Structure 1
Amino acid sequence: MHGKKGIALLLSSFLVISLAACSSGNNGGTTPEESAAGSNAPKDTASLTPLGKYDPPIEVTAVRGITEGTKYSEGESIDNNVWSKAYESELGVKVKYLWTTPTAQYDQKLNIAIASDDLPDITPVSASQLKRLVEDGALEDLTSLYEQYGSELTKGIMSQDGGNAIKSATFDGKLYGLPNMTSGLGQTHVLWVRTDWLQKLGLPEPKTMDDVTRTAEAFVKQDPDGNHKADTYGLGINKDIFGFYAGMQGFFNGFHAYPNTWVKDASGKLGYGSVQPETKAALLKLQELYKQGLLDKEFGTKDATKVSEAANGGKLGLFYGFFWNAGWLQDGKNTDPTMEWKPISIVSSDDQPAKAQVPFAINTYYVVKKGAKNPEAAVKVLNFDFEKLWGETAQPDIYSVNNNTAIFEYALLYGEAPRKNLDAYLNVVKALEANDPSGLNTEEKGYYDNILAFRAGDLKLWGNEQMYGPAGSLSVIDSYSKNVQLVDDAYYGAPTQGMTDNNATLQKLQLEVFTRIIMGGSIDEFDQFVAQWNDLGGNTITGEVNDWLASQ
């Protein structure tokens, strides 16, 4: 979601943690004794605090991938920018990159570095790389360093998912990585509905799966755009079937199916959501919609961007996706000011409420090489990053986003609180009701101002209202949270050997079979898929996942 859709969209994913979560302050905490920090402890007392400065400065080596399209101000680079300068001037940490590479090549280059035992002090790694490095004895144990140096803000953010992120980086009771925190909650689905079309056709908002079907049919057959051509689609779906825009997780959730995640069965064992009977029922319904012409006949060739072009071009009236999809609809609103979309809760196929699936969202960890001279520096840099992005002294216009530039991408370590967007929504709505923004931090005040500007007629800020306004997409996620309508991925361990060996094959198989079934293949193929899935490694993985569960 980064890059091209303007500052409102960019900021939506990188919102400030709630005031409540940071009001306890983050410069406090007891100053650890040098002896407690081990033989590598710095020798000046100032640097023994979470945000204390090293004097004299220290050098920390690192490597990283660079996101395609990363922009810098004139004269700046990954080695010379607002973050690197602040690390040196405020923390006394000079960051030296041994190498950087485009993100697409990062894993491959890092695997070579791991194999040749050539790691820098701080390295971003995947869950499987973390596991391998722990087994090789190549990493510093961060347990006591995190406890001693972690600021209150850092520890608050890191524990906001109930502790699963930290558990996922813990092996035999020892913490070996700092998770790059992100929000699983922000990756739940809402149902986006073209409400001006509903009004035009005299239809109510969908409340059930049958309503979704009826609405999709009306959007296809009753000419909602009034051009006397049969050129509109009912329900959007992308070629990968799942994903952040026009993905079908929310649709499957309506059948109490949770594909691509691990769920507990009645006996307390973990099973893979994609091979459960509820998934078969959802596929059968999608097949029916396809047969009726309510899905794009050529969906198998269209990615999320193509589907969004159909929505913005006035050819699509319903799709499931993330809360920030409003940002991707802004172009359509700019082109056609009468276009209205509303985010609503996912709907159920029966009398049981639908629950939205929440993926385990951590896929990057920051690790410290065993024997690094200042292993606590990683924790202190993370404290600094969180403070400048989300803390009481945050300066988002300097450190997060400015002039459509994603400055946060330059930070050595990164993370965002799982509830941050939800908390920001609650704060903004409260301020709107009271007509008093004085309690808002800089970034929340930006949303508040943008919503008022939209209400005063600036349609280019419509997306702010659709996300952070009283009836915005985050109000839907808030209702999931309050009504306990969420199903967390029950597995948050490192990839098992079976996953490493077989996941690519199993994912390919799933996509091929699900696509064939939706396009009219026999539903009996699902049972063959389940058998094949088990034979091709699924049985092994299920065993490994349940062994992991037993060890928790």
Structure 2
Amino acid sequence: MKRNKAAALMLSLGLILTMAACSDGNGNGTGNGGKDTGAAASDPTNAPAATGNDADASAPADPLGKYDPPIEVTAVRGITEGTKFADGEAIDNNVWSKAYENELGVKVKYLWTTPSAQYDQKLNIAIASDDLPDITPVSASQLKRLVEDDGLEDLTSLYEQYGSELTKNILSQDGGNAMKSATFDGKLYGLPNMTSGLGQSHVLWVRTDWLKKLGLPEPKTMDDLLKTAEAFAKQDPDGNQKADTYGLGITKDIFGFYAGMEGFFNGFHAYPNTWVKDASGKLTYGSVAPETKTALQKLQELYKNGILDKEYGTKDATKVSEAANGGKLGLFYGYFWNVGWLQDGKNTDPAMEWKPLPIVSADDQPAKAQVPFAISTYYVVKKGAKHPEAAVKLLNFDYEKLWGKTAEPNVYNANNGIGIFEYALLYGEAPRKNLDAHLHVVEALNANDPSKLNPEEKGYYDSLVAYRGGDNKMWGNALMYGPEGSLSVIDGYAKNGGIVDDAYFGAPTQGMTDNEATLQKLQLETFTRIIMGGSIDEFDKFAAQWNDLGGSTITGEVNDWQASR
């Protein structure tokens, strides 16, 4: 599931930073350590908590109150590849599971776990068999299916009654779209795994020591970028007298978090894989827009001229990062934290320098970075679960221990190269957490006063001070959270209206469920053929096929959704 992919990416970052996230400054008070004052825990027999049908939603409830006696909830989950545990620990025996039981009075019993790659398949079988646990992480399409099958608890009043101030703050920071995406006919059926769409917009990563060596300025336009990419490919920037460098990185998937082409396409005002409004206000799919054809034609030219790796079609993000670390690549688009994957190269070659820049435009209109709808996972409660409010309280607890006033980053987030946050049953973070951390850290650096920083921010501050003192191992942090870091680029997007949000954030439509896999496969195959030298006219054929194979139906459904809002 994408939830686990996101977690894996965060783990990669955490391993580099060797520090963890903590409070976002909007925390709520801690639990009182005694009995929950709400309906569920006041019953010593552990009778089912009052549901939305018969609970007084205004009744007092302690969001972090401990169940006494303890309760048990069942769950299932995927395990991200590479997840590490300390000696003697496991997914059902670790700091999180112990804290759930000792501090919240909730024992989590996993009915099954599976590698993340097999999670969807196994969960779909469980859904078809009506064999769900109390709490389940699901995708948007699975959420919709379970709602239609009347298989989930209505969490509306439970969220209002038990949700902590911190939880409600985090889940509302995107303007409410995350919660709306989990709401059907006015009823809340899932708790979104909150994350940042803005943090998934692209910046342009440029190897600046190569710019200096070749006497080139930082690229400010698409023409500048193309000239720079050609120079990096053909003017021997590594000085080894061999034609073994590439100008612009690209992965076999074409789009993605590292060396994806979203930022490049955005420079041509194309927004692939995103729903955008046309001049009439109707929603259209960016992948079939004429601007996308223009961007593809330019990539075809770059491939033909040796600016792109001729073997890119076989290389994933990891392989591209190896080329960048190995001194064979000088430009790529990607997320703000991609510098974390460049730290090994910096350690090997201290003279290597990269800089994050805003995406560049192909004309006189400013480029705008596309921002995806970031929610891909929801936590749902099986209809008839004995304690449906426990899911809300577990999420409160997770947020408090990760980002609240009593957060302990070294205990609950990451330590000694281990991503401890991965063990939490529910997860999420404020959409602006990293951006706000950058702003607070820069303010503290300017004032030489870190006293107002929370523990996470203080860790970044300390790492920047260490980098300025000569510790190159903190270089990656400086290029994210520092004054000219990648988060400053994203801050510029946000302040200057330089973003294009995905305009569709509803549940997958029937057309998407039926046809999305086919359409994505068609797109990747067609775009790859065009880039590698196929006729650009294939794009027009692709657009027609996309409509015929379900795209037209999806477009109608998406616009019906917009009209109904």
User: TM-score interval w.r.t. the shorter chain?
Assistant: over 0.9
Deviations 1:24-71 (A, max 9, x none): 75779x9767898557879xx99x311111111111111111112211
Give 1:338 deviation, angstroms. 0.2
Does the CA contact (< 8 Å) of 2:209 and 2:353 recur in 1? Answer: yes
- Contact 1:355 1:487 (8 Å CA) reproduced: yes
- Count of residues in correspondence between the two structures: 544
Quick one: structure 1 residues 115 and 40, their matched pair in 2 at CA, closer, same or farther if it must change by over 3 Å? farther
CA shift for structure 1 position 359:
0.6
Aligned letter for 2:16?
A
Stretch of structure 1 that moved more, 383-392 or 508-517: 508-517
How far 1:97 sits from its partner (Å)? 1.2
- Residue 15 (structure 2) aligns with: 7
Q: Which residue of 2 aligns with 1:242?
A: 255
TM superposition shift of 1:15: 3.6
Contact 2:277 2:503 survives alignment (8 Å) = yes
In structure 1, how many angstroms separate the alpha carbons of the residues matched to 2:108 and 2:532?
Answer: 53
On the 8 A contact 1:182/1:361 being kept in 2, the answer is: yes
Aligned ranges 1:10-89 → 2 under 5 Å: 15-16=21-22, 18-19=24-25, 21-22=26-27, 48-89=61-102
Contact 2:91 2:423 in 1 (8 A): yes
Q: Is residue 477 of structure 2 the alignment partner of residue 477 of structure 1?
A: no
- Structure-2 residue corresponding to 1:514: 527
CA distance in 2, matches of 1:340, 1:474: 17
Once the 2 structures are TM-superposed, how far is the Cα of residue 8 of structure 1 from its aligned partner?
3.4
Contact 1:25 1:153 in 2 (8 A): no
Counterpart pick for 2:395 among 370, 376, 382: 382
**Which residue number in structure 2 is paired with residue 495 of structure 1?**
508
Is structure 2 residue 174 aligned with structure 1 residue 161?
yes
* Structure 1: distance between partners of 2:292 and 2:229: 21
Q: CA deviation at 1:427?
A: 0.9
- The whole-number CA distance in structure 2 between the counterparts of 1:340 and 1:546 is 46
Partner of 1:98: 111
- For residue 253 of structure 1, what is the aligned residue in structure 2? 266
Contact 1:251 1:346 in 2 (8 A): yes
Contact residue 37 and residue 65 of structure 2 kept, 8 A: no
* TM-score (structure 1 length as normaliser): 0.95
Structure 2 distance, partners of 1:227, 1:234, is: 16
In 2, Cα distance between equivalents of 1:27 and 1:87: 12
Cα distance in 2 between the residues matched to 1:204 and 1:178: 47
Describe the SS at the equivalent of 1:137.
Answer: coil
Q: Distance in 1 between matches of 2:13 and 2:163?
A: 35
Matched, 1:178 2:184: no
Give, in whole Å, the separation in 2 of the partners of 1:152 and 1:267: 40
- Contact 2:274–2:285 at 8 Å: present in 1 too? yes
Structure 1 residue 212 corresponds to structure 2 residue 220: no
**Residues 15 and 424, structure 1, Cα contact 8 Å, conserved in 2:** no
1:539 matched to which residue of 2? 552
* Counterpart AA for 1:304: A
Change (3 A) 1:223 1:251: same
Q: Which amino acid aligns with 1:488?
A: D
Contact 1:389 1:400 in 2 (8 A): yes
443-452 or 163-172: which moved more?
Answer: 443-452
SS at match of 1:99: strand
Quick one: distance in 2 between partners of 1:345 and 1:10?
A: 27
The residue type paired with residue 95 of structure 2 is: V
Amino acid at match of 2:108: V
- Alignment of structure 1 residues 517-528 onto 2, 5 Å: 517-528=530-541
CA deviation after TM superposition for structure 1 residue 387, in Å: 0.3
* Cα distance in 2, alignment partners of residues 120 and 18 from structure 1: 32
Q: Is the 8 A contact 1:26 1:152 kept in 2?
A: no
Instruction: Give the C-alpha shift of residue 18 in structure 1.
Output: 3.2
Matches for 1:354-373 after TM superposition, within 5 Å: 354-373=367-386
CA distance in 1, matches of 2:54, 2:423: 27
Hey, what's the Cα distance between the residues in 1 that align with 2:419 and 2:517?
31
Cα distance in structure 2, aligned partners of 1:153 and 1:55: 24
Using the alignment, how far apart are the partners of 2:306 and 2:540 within structure 1? 25
Alpha carbons 1:41, 1:374 under 8 Å: kept: no
Alignment partners' CA distance in 2, 1:88 and 1:361:
31
Are 1:333 and 1:340, in contact at CA under 8 Å, matched by a contact in 2?
Answer: yes
Aligned to 2:211: 198
RMSD value over aligned CA atoms? Answer: 2.0
2:250–2:332 contact (8 Å) kept in structure 1: yes
For residues 434-474 of structure 1, the C-alpha deviation after alignment (integer angstroms, 9 at most, x for no partner) is: 11111111111111111111111111111010111100000
Letter in 2 for 1:301: T
Letter in structure 1 aligned against 2:408:
Q
The reply on whether 1:304 has 2:317 as its aligned counterpart is yes
1:53–1:195 distance in 2 versus 1, CA, 3 Å? same
Q: TM-score, normalised by structure 2?
A: 0.93
Other structure's SS at 1:487 match: strand
Q: Shift of the alpha carbon at 1:317?
A: 0.7
Query: Corresponding residue for 2:436?
Result: 423
Return the letter of the residue paired with 1:265.
D
State the secondary structure of the residue aligned to 1:316. coil
Query: Partners in 2 of 1:323 and 1:547 — Cα distance?
Result: 35
Q: C-alpha distance in 1, partners of 2:427/2:11?
A: 17
**Is 2:150 the counterpart of 1:137?**
yes
For structure 1, the 5+ residue unaligned runs are none
